[in-house]
Amino acid sequence: MKRIWTALFTLVLSIASCLCVSAGTFDGYWDFLQSDGTYAYAFPRILVSMDEYWYQHTRVIEGEGGMTASFYHRGSFDAYGEEGVAGGLLFTLGASVNTDFQDLPSFKYLGFDEEEAMNYYAILPTDYQAYMGDEEIRAEYDLLWSGVEEVLDNVLIKGSEKYNDMREPSNTGSTDSTPTGPVVSGDYEYSINTDKETVTLLNYSGDDENIEIPSEIDGYPVSRIGAEAFRYRTMKSLTVPESVVCIDKQAFEYGTITDSVQLPQNITIMDDAFSYAKLPSELTIPAGAVVERCAFSYCEVLENVFIEQNANIKGRGFGYCYVLSRVVCAEGTKLETSAFEYCRDLKEAVLCGNVEMEEEAFSYCDNMTVTRAEADEFEEKKQSEDVTADDSREGAEPFALEIIDSPAEQRGVTVTLSEAKAQRDDIGYSYSFSGTIENNSDEGIMEVIYSFALYDEAGEKYRSFNIVYDGEDTSIAPGTKIDFSHEDIRWGLQSVPASVSIGIYSVKTDTELKPAHVPKPGDYLYQTLDDEKLANIKNEPPVKLAFHVDHGGFGRTAVFTEGEGLDRAVELFCEIKIAGESGEFVTDNYNWISITWADGTTSGIGLNLNNLEYSVHSTFHTYSLENLYEFRAYADEYLVDD
């Protein structure tokens, strides 16, 4: 697989928000459900229609300047993304004033926009784009690929003859009497969707604590809750009517709902719709609902989730819900890979009847058990709070691994593995190791990187990983022995382990690696990063502060350069404190704060989502931060797309 078309387009990985705009406009990028039951993607002056299967299995990447959009098979794109390439391409839409290219075999000419004097075309891949490592993903790609021509044949270009023929004539002679901008009705602001029959709620200006979304407004059914419509809002209860088919991205992000959330069946809850929200301790996902990526991620109060029949929870749909303890799934539920990733306190997942659970659906949920129940026991299991393990699982009891090649020695340091155990459960094997590190050298030892290698019953090595002992600010003195113990190390489903060996990768003394400053709870962020200019920020303020937010590759930055805006940003930055080591880690959503000083130098702070990303020697740490949300909420008002 290779990166394609980079000579023609520079594609920016920016997943655009789902924005419903008023009828008659094709400006910006959005996706929506059409009145005929099909789905549509639209970006400047072009609309692509497709059936539900295409919609659910497609990822759209908007190109530089909004003038291209690439349609990928979601499964192949995600799988290849782990290898650093953009696989799974189905086609790329583009526009040009030049038509010389239209006879090339990899291009498909789509039509001419009379108003803009612009030609639209599609670029088709010339190499096979399906992910070959998974047969199901490959079959999904092939199914989408078989329908590419039909999708392209139905592309609608604003200003084209086809578009003009489809416009509804007005009795008054006006080309379109439908409002072309947001409409205010009472406490709600809304826009009319392109079907001209339904609306999207854009904002709520009222002060009701118990919010009931109207099913109809000004005679229009309410079909969507728009992006960021209730972001940061606090309420007691939320009731969403059956007319609403979708809650858009970030609609309730960072909000607070104290008492209850009631959602309709078959609703689609888009990416980050409720992320970071403080929800009631119990939440029911209704039958047929689709929970998109990260829709309920980082909901820090949520303890119990009940998922009704035929709902679909996608990757990180409930990721990083750290106090979530119990999940009960009804018949027909689908839990995709990483659906409940890093729910560290999750103790039990109850699967009632036929529940499709992909491998690693509960990745990094190290203390949980999966139990099975009959399909008709769903309501009963919702009421039960007994967390019991399924003792019928093969290998439920820990078993010892044979220890080989121990002890290991290097530079006067001896690492001895004294006990090694493995335990099998429904989501793979977990490992526990214990032993000692002994310093027989004449110097203090600041860091030891030692490794474990696992072997199956045939003696074949199938997994190895390193562990870092880091003294941080204290070394192992000469003649001293310390103990180590590592519990619940997980690597997913692997070969059956039989033995383990230990080795030493490297040793560093306290003359080679000086003691480091380690952030402590209560430290102010600007004082804890070993940066003299940052530490003196209140006496010598900067000339510029930039805050960058990454959202799955879609970047936005707020820049403050002078006046009250910069002063307030610096003031809020100086209130951010270290709250303690969090252990939270994500592989995307890297944010940063950059501060520029009068002499032109800069100080940078890396954020792993909302945690300080900080390395002490060879050990990576993430620290949770107090008062960051106040800084973020202020900066959010100034964010501009990169």
User: Sign of dihedral through CA atoms 364, 367, 372, 378?
Assistant: negative
Domain membership of residue 141 (yes or no) is yes
What are the E-state strand segments in 124-169? 156-157
- pLDDT tens, residue by residue, 105-136: 678 888 887 777 788 888 888 888 998 888 88
- pLDDT value of position 33: 61
Distances 242 to 195, 218, 454 between C-alpha atoms, Å: 18, 17, 53
**Together in a domain, 213 and 130:** no
**Together in a domain, 94 and 202:** no
- pLDDT value of position 15: 26
Burial of 456 (0-12, 13-18, 19+ CB in 10 A): middle
By C-alpha distance, which of 394, 20, 371, 346 is closest to 190? 20
- Antiparallel, parallel or unpaired: β 445-456 and 497-509: antiparallel
Burial of 37 (0-12, 13-18, 19+ CB in 10 A): exposed
In this model, does residue 420 exceed pLDDT 50? yes
- Antiparallel, parallel or unpaired: β 39-43 and 46-50: antiparallel
Per the document, the length of the chain is 642
Q: What is the mean pLDDT of the chain?
A: 81
**Together in a domain, 39 and 154:** yes
Q: Is the pTM of this model over 0.85?
A: no
- pLDDT tens, residue by residue, 293-325: 889 998 878 999 999 999 999 988 998 888 899
**Together in a domain, 324 and 429:** no
Number of H helices, E strands in the chain: 9, 45
Name the more confident of 24 and 393.
393
In this model, does residue 469 exceed pLDDT 50? yes
- pLDDT tens, residue by residue, 142-186: 889 988 988 888 888 876 666 555 433 333 333 344 444 578 899
What CATH code is carried by the domain that includes residue 299? 3.80.10.10
Name the more confident of 496 and 558.
558
**Together in a domain, 132 and 264:** no
**Together in a domain, 474 and 602:** no
User: Sign of dihedral through CA atoms 471, 582, 337, 348?
Assistant: positive
- Indicate the range of 57-71, 245-259, 403-417, 562-576 predicted with least confidence: 57-71
- Number of compact structural domains in the chain: 4
- pLDDT tens, residue by residue, 340-392: 988 878 889 999 999 999 888 998 887 788 889 999 989 888 886 544 434 33
**Together in a domain, 505 and 532:** no
The phi and psi torsions of 504 (rounded to 5 degrees) equal -115, 125
In this model, does residue 288 exceed pLDDT 70? yes
Host domain of residue 103: 30-166
- pLDDT value of position 61: 79
User: Sign of dihedral through CA atoms 352, 357, 363, 366?
Assistant: positive
**Together in a domain, 196 and 127:** no
The phi and psi torsions of 37 (rounded to 5 degrees) equal 90, -5
In this model, does residue 224 exceed pLDDT 70? yes
Calpha distance 370→387 (Å, rounded): 10
Domain membership of residue 14 (yes or no) is no
